A and B are shown apart, each in its own frame.
Chain A
């Protein structure tokens, strides 16, 4: 167990609390338009793992308006218990109001761990929750574990632009708060037969009188989001301009996928920000990731760790991507990608029987 905290050694701005006073693993579950948000359900996956390791309960916390009926769903996705605050005060989301509701519940229940999905809203309210509790917070975790001796949670994240992996602990403070980007963890398997307790709570959070939502417009959604795509044809600085992305789009279409881009391609305005792959963009897990004109910086590569296969096309023989891809060719994408489209179209027209010829050709290369 953790050692006893000596109060006079702590910052006087922090409450003096012993880690033993805290118990259970919380996942803040967000709801929008009457549905549970997928990224927050994903956080139940590490939540289940850590609560099992600690031998504590996994508790879903659902704060919103008209959300009570969703509580049972949270249990089916793996929670043992759900705390619901359903009030008109949460009809419009304001970061402080939402955060302070979580703070009030955390002070009442003293959870040992709080996991929050790193959606844009989650990244906005989570640090306010942590700071108001004077608790530690670790952003963009890629994994969680438990130190079996101290029972401290290890929050594992890539600082320094994804070059390092840091194991972070908060031994003197509870709760231990961590966020993870969407799609780092899978949504748990739904179990219709799971039962658990639903607790309805009230909070005294004041309304937000210092800010007001003036308007809200839904933006056009992408046809295929990069997070869901099985094939992503992604372009980087080497693509050289927006017209190059037209060629990548044709390849993506042929393979039933979508296009993505590196930070440099987004910075240059060649592709929209919602398709950015990497540390400041999305984490993706396609079956096939085709990196075109992407050099392979650590901050980009961390976004495709879960890609099953990576194909790289780059004109620069020194590009680090060649060290981190499955199949690479050195060459000008302006020639290679159109040739690849043509090759696939020919294969498509000839039918599956033609596949054998390719295998035989590969064999001749090996000999």
Chain B
């Protein structure tokens, strides 16, 4: 826990040190199909901060703004990811650490979470007590949602997913609201704790020019390599990954009829769709049932 003190009023103020994890991902939305050849155009796909991490950054900043403290962003990635850390510094993150080393390359989620967890322990030991570790719920490129739970497992901390709101409640606890398929739940977790922040939980603030300038003139972005973390290379990267990608193939296409009708107007288009639904044995019965409650 960070220091607890009161500032003249009855309200207890709790400073929080929040570590927020960021992933630098290919912008999968920018991947396009080549309509001529039916293949994927994967070259030149730009990288971005995983969009689902931004609500996590926003939640971290709000907690800090509310009670004071600092937000530290971390990313385990090759050097170009410093651009992503600069982006979140521009949002108002206080400092950022790029964790980068060749021995971290090719990591699956277990090996990634191992490096992140050890980095968080180093922050805790050298910068100060970490109260909260916050991640986006999942990434747009692989969507596993593993990292928050895996980091919690290495650090043996309580954790919760799908967080929509979080408030630090004076007594060294955080209160969160989270949503399951059919339930809205409220939990209280003792700090330190790990949170997975729901997709779209909060609207991220834009990058501000003054924050960007602050980033430029003050050295707020540092790099840690394995010289700093001193991890056993058998536990990191490809070697520290129990899962192995045996092979990848392009996603097989679902066979579809691909009939495109060039209608003169909307009426004709509608008539064609209805005609196709009637002619197609896969949809005929459905249409009969929904229109007349009988079989086709």
Chain A residues engaging chain B, CB cutoff 8 angstroms:
9-14, 95-96, 99, 119-121, 123-128, 130-132, 134-140, 147, 154-155, 158-173, 208-219, 221, 230-231, 254-257, 266-267, 273-274, 279-280, 287-288, 297-299, 301-302, 305, 308-311, 313, 318, 320, 322-332, 335-336, 338-340, 342-344, 347-348, 351-352, 355, 358-359, 361-362, 365
B224: chain A residues within 8 A (beta carbon): none
Q: Please tell me the number of chain B residues within 8 Å of chain A, measured between CB atoms.
A: 106
CB of B43 closer than 8 Å to a CB of A: no
How many angstroms between the C-alpha atoms of A210 and B191 in the bound complex? 8
For B157, B257, B260, B269, which residue has the most chain A Cβ atoms within 10 angstroms?
Answer: B269
- Contact between chains at A167 and B269 (CB < 8 Å): no
Within 8 A of A (CB), among B99-152: 108-110, 113-114, 138, 140-150, 152
How many angstroms between the C-alpha atoms of A343 and B245 in the bound complex? 50
CB of B7 closer than 8 Å to a CB of A: no
- Contact between chains at B269 and A136 (CB < 8 Å): no
- Contact between chains at A123 and B145 (CB < 8 Å): yes
One digit per residue, 1 when the CB lies within 8 angstroms of any chain A CB and 0 when it does not, for chain B 253-294 equals: 110111111110111011111111111101100111111101
- What are 7 A-B residue pairs whose CB atoms fall within 8 Å in the complex? A135-B110, A161-B28, A219-B183, A230-B286, A287-B282, A326-B257, A359-B279
Known A-B contacts A12-B232, A318-B35; A211 and B291 likewise in contact (beta carbons under 8 Å): no
How many angstroms between the C-alpha atoms of A226 and B158 in the bound complex? 33
B138: chain A residues within 8 A (beta carbon): 280
- Contact between chains at A210 and B189 (CB < 8 Å): yes
How many angstroms between the C-alpha atoms of A82 and B263 in the bound complex? 58
- Contact between chains at A340 and B274 (CB < 8 Å): yes
- Contact between chains at B244 and A170 (CB < 8 Å): yes
Residue in contact with A324 in the complex, picked from B109, B235, B239, B253, CB distance below 8 Å: B253
Given contacts A134-B242, A161-B143, A217-B184, 6 further A-B contacts (CB under 8 A): A120-B162, A164-B249, A216-B184, A329-B272, A338-B266, A352-B296
A266: chain B residues within 8 A (beta carbon): 200
Residue in contact with A123 in the complex, picked from B161, B185, B287, B289, CB distance below 8 Å: B161
- Contact between chains at A95 and B160 (CB < 8 Å): yes
Residue in contact with B184 in the complex, picked from A162, A219, A339, CB distance below 8 Å: A219
| Ranked 3 nearest A-B pairs via Cβ | A136-B242, A161-B28, A335-B266
How many angstroms between the C-alpha atoms of A298 and B141 in the bound complex? 11
Within 8 A of A (CB), among B143-195: 143-150, 152-154, 157-162, 175, 179-190, 193
Q: Looking at chain A's contact residues, is the secondary structure mostly helix, strand, loop, or mixed?
A: mixed
How many angstroms between the C-alpha atoms of A313 and B290 in the bound complex? 21
- Contact between chains at A344 and B274 (CB < 8 Å): yes
- Contact between chains at B187 and A214 (CB < 8 Å): yes
Chain B residues engaging chain A, CB cutoff 8 angstroms:
26, 28-29, 31-33, 35, 38, 40, 42, 108-110, 113-114, 138, 140-150, 152-154, 157-162, 175, 179-190, 193, 196, 199-200, 232, 234-235, 239-254, 256-263, 265-267, 269-280, 282-283, 286-292, 294, 296
Known A-B contacts A130-B110, A140-B143, A326-B256; A274 and B270 likewise in contact (beta carbons under 8 Å): no
A128: chain B residues within 8 A (beta carbon): 149-150, 152-153, 159
How many angstroms between the C-alpha atoms of A296 and B245 in the bound complex? 27
For B141, B143, B189, B276, which residue has the most chain A Cβ atoms within 10 angstroms?
Answer: B143
A-B pair count, CB < 8 Å, reads 316
B247: chain A residues within 8 A (beta carbon): 166-167
- Contact between chains at B244 and A140 (CB < 8 Å): no
B179: chain A residues within 8 A (beta carbon): 219
How many angstroms between the C-alpha atoms of A299 and B143 in the bound complex? 10
- Contact between chains at A167 and B248 (CB < 8 Å): yes
- Contact between chains at A136 and B257 (CB < 8 Å): no
How many angstroms between the C-alpha atoms of A330 and B264 in the bound complex? 10
Residue in contact with A256 in the complex, picked from B35, B273, B290, CB distance below 8 Å: B290
Return the chain A residue nearest B272 by Cβ: A329
- Contact between chains at A211 and B160 (CB < 8 Å): yes
- Contact between chains at A167 and B246 (CB < 8 Å): yes
A95: chain B residues within 8 A (beta carbon): 149, 159-161
Return the chain A residue nearest B180 by Cβ: A120
- Nearest-Cβ distance from residue A28 to partner chain B, whole angstroms: 15
For A124, A138, A167, which residue has the most chain B Cβ atoms within 10 angstroms?
Answer: A124
- Contact between chains at A134 and B110 (CB < 8 Å): yes
B153: chain A residues within 8 A (beta carbon): 127-128, 131-132
Residue in contact with B271 in the complex, picked from A164, A320, A322, A361, CB distance below 8 Å: A361
How many angstroms between the C-alpha atoms of A130 and B40 in the bound complex? 33
- Contact between chains at A352 and B270 (CB < 8 Å): no
- Contact between chains at B181 and A274 (CB < 8 Å): yes
Known A-B contacts A95-B160, A96-B159, A137-B110; A323 and B33 likewise in contact (beta carbons under 8 Å): yes
- Contact between chains at A136 and B243 (CB < 8 Å): yes
Known A-B contacts A124-B149, A331-B266, A362-B275; A348 and B291 likewise in contact (beta carbons under 8 Å): yes
How many angstroms between the C-alpha atoms of A155 and B161 in the bound complex? 24
How many angstroms between the C-alpha atoms of A280 and B150 in the bound complex? 20
- Contact between chains at B35 and A159 (CB < 8 Å): no
- Contact between chains at B245 and A218 (CB < 8 Å): no
How many angstroms between the C-alpha atoms of A95 and B38 in the bound complex? 43
Residue in contact with B141 in the complex, picked from A11, A120, A159, A343, CB distance below 8 Å: A159
